[in-house]
Structure formats: structure tokens, C-alpha cells
Amino acid sequence: MYLISDIKITSSASIREAMRIIDTGAMKIAIVVDDDGKLIGTLTDGDIRRGLLKGMEMSDPIRDIFNHQPLSVKISDPKEKIIELAVNRKVFQIPVVDDDGRVIRLAEIDQLIKQEKHPNTVVLMAGGLGSRLKPLTDHTPKPMLPVGGRPILETVISRFKKQGYTKFVIALNYKADIIRKYFGNGLTMGVDITYLEENQRMGTAGALGLLERTPDESFFVMNADILTLVDFESLMEFHTRNASDATMCIREYGMEVPYGVVRLNKENIVSIEEKPVQQFYVNAGIYVLTPQTLDLIPKGNPMDMTGLFEQAVERGLTTLSFPIREFWMDIGKPEDYERANFDYNRLFHE
């Protein structure tokens, strides 16, 4: 396993230093960064050879021979986008950067294409009443409503499976038998499914207190009525790399004030802004938790996920946010359901 720090180099490094990195490293590439660790280029053996053929010396800096327009992807980019980009550009490795342009890792396309099975459990919350979607949910639990010709919950499970996550626990309450009968033990989907059933409304976090066994690794928790293209592997990597105890996916949400907003200095009008849009970050209903966070949940008592995060903050645990920039939709209202069916075939190619 390589360390990204082993293949980073600055533009002032000599060709000799670059060759040592490329020749001794498993990746056969050097990542050129500035003093802040931000990506400014890449360097390969071919770049060095072309420089030497032009008469450069081994002691010369690499600043004139590295690729100054490197291909890169964001850590939030889904695997499918990275693979498509690599195939179109005919490359086998792409630097992955954070929002500030700092290099986090190197995406290896052959590894992305190869299906890797992850040990992490996925807990899906499928016990909601779906009251706002009545009468559609009078006889069908909301996660079983068809979108794109199959239940929402089936698409959620398929998205996780596609990224190598195959161990599922589904929390049930309303019309639980319908979900049990449809999915069974998950064998027909090539996954493993077990269930926990709430005899009373426990809240998202409270239901976790019903788990028969504590997961061995960090695990996902997600509402089962969400359609999203979020990269779950990137989410888990972010959580693990930053030693987070509890990570919450967040989504930017804009709300228009339907009036002109008057800004004052005492009684004097300073400005009037017509129907401004206020931007907020909202809880996206997707989380990654360490097993230790389960100790914060009162056994047998209701608790929502907000309460769990508040407890984690009070205890001084590391609680981080993971912004979602990919498609995300919480199917809570009839207009959401209608839009989800409209968007499905365009976005979900499975």
C-alpha cells in the first residue's frame, strides 16, 4: 500500500529526485504540489525522458517538464464519473483533491473497476409512516413506493451494493411484513439482509439501540426514502481518514424570503434587498458512525439523530459534516415523488 506523501514532490525538486520517486514507488508517477499541498501537476517517466532528450541535466528542476494541466477529480465525485473520465481520457491514475485543491489520494482505475467487498454494515431506516404521501402510503410503506419501476428501497440497496457494501440491517415498523416478504434475506439481490423491528416509534438513533450486535467497524445509517448518487466509498474514506466518531451528510438548501428585506441602522434605512435567498446547510439523512457512539443511545428510549449528535458534541467526540454535491432527494411529498419518477431514468443507470 502506497502513501500519497511518498509520491508528492515540489516543482523545485530535481529530475534526479523525481526519478527516485517514480522508480521506487508502486504508482510510477509523481504528484507535483505547491507549498500548501495543492495540486499543480503530474510527472511521469515519459515526461522525464522527453526532458533529457532536450538536453536537460539530472540536477535541473522539474518545473519545465511536468504536466501543468493535470487531470483531477474531487473527493466527492462518484466512482462512475471517475471511471468514465479515465476511459475517455485514456488514463489509469487520477489525483483526488479536496475542496481546497489539496491532494488526498490517487484514484487507480483498475481498482475502481474491480468490485471490492467492504465489511461495513448499512442500517436503513424503513419504518416511517409516510403520512405526507397519503393516499399512496395507505397500503404501501413509503420505501416500497415504485420509482423508475422498482421500490425506492431496492434502488438504495443496489447503490450500496454497486460500491461493495453488502451487509444490511433494515429497521421496520409500518407495514413491516411487506418489506420482509419482498427482500427476504437478500439472497436474490446478492446481499445479506437482517431486520430489526420497532414496537414503538424510536427515532432514527433510538432504533440503533435495538441492534442485536454492535458492528465491528464504522457503519452507515440512512433513511430508506432517499434517492442519491452520493459516493458512499468517498464518504466512508472521509470519515475514516479524519478519525471521525460521527459524520453527517449535509445538503445546501436555499429559502427565498417572499418580501423585500429592509436593513436598518437604528431607524435609518441602509438598503432594501428584494426577495433575498438565504442559504443553509440541512441534515441529508445519511450518516457514518463508529460503534462507540451506540453507547450514547439510551436503551429502549426514543432518540432522533440530532439528539445523538448533540450528545457526541457534548462528550467531545469528533463530529464532522460531509457536504453532498451529487443528486439527492428526500421523497417526502407528492411533488418529490413525481419529480423522482421523472428524473430516475436520466440519473440511475443500473
Q: What is the pLDDT of residues 196-207, one digit of tens each?
A: 988 877 888 888
Q: Are 324 and 226 in contact (CB under 8 A)?
A: no
End-to-end CA distance of the chain: 31
Catalogue the E-assigned strands of the chain.
8-9, 30-33, 39-43, 73-74, 93-97, 103-108, 118-125, 146-147, 150-151, 165-172, 192-197, 219-223, 226-228, 246-256, 260-265, 268-274, 277-289, 319-323, 328-330
**Mean local confidence (pLDDT), 103-114:** 77
Q: Cell triple for residue 88?
A: 475517455
Q: Mind listing the pLDDT tens digit for each residue in 264-306?
A: 888 888 888 888 887 788 899 999 999 999 999 988 788 999 9
Superfamily in which the 118-249+283-347 domain is placed by CATH: Spore Coat Polysaccharide Biosynthesis Protein SpsA; Chain A (3.90.550.10)
Q: Cell triple for residue 69?
A: 494541466
User: Is the pTM above the cut of 0.85?
Assistant: no
pLDDT of residue 1: 46
Other Cβ atoms within 10 Å of 3 Cβ, number: 9
What is the domain partition of the chain in residue ranges?
Answer: 4-113, 118-249+283-347
Superfamily in which the 4-113 domain is placed by CATH: CBS-domain (3.10.580.10)
Position with higher pLDDT, 186 vs 338: 186
Q: Cell triple for residue 255?
A: 429559502
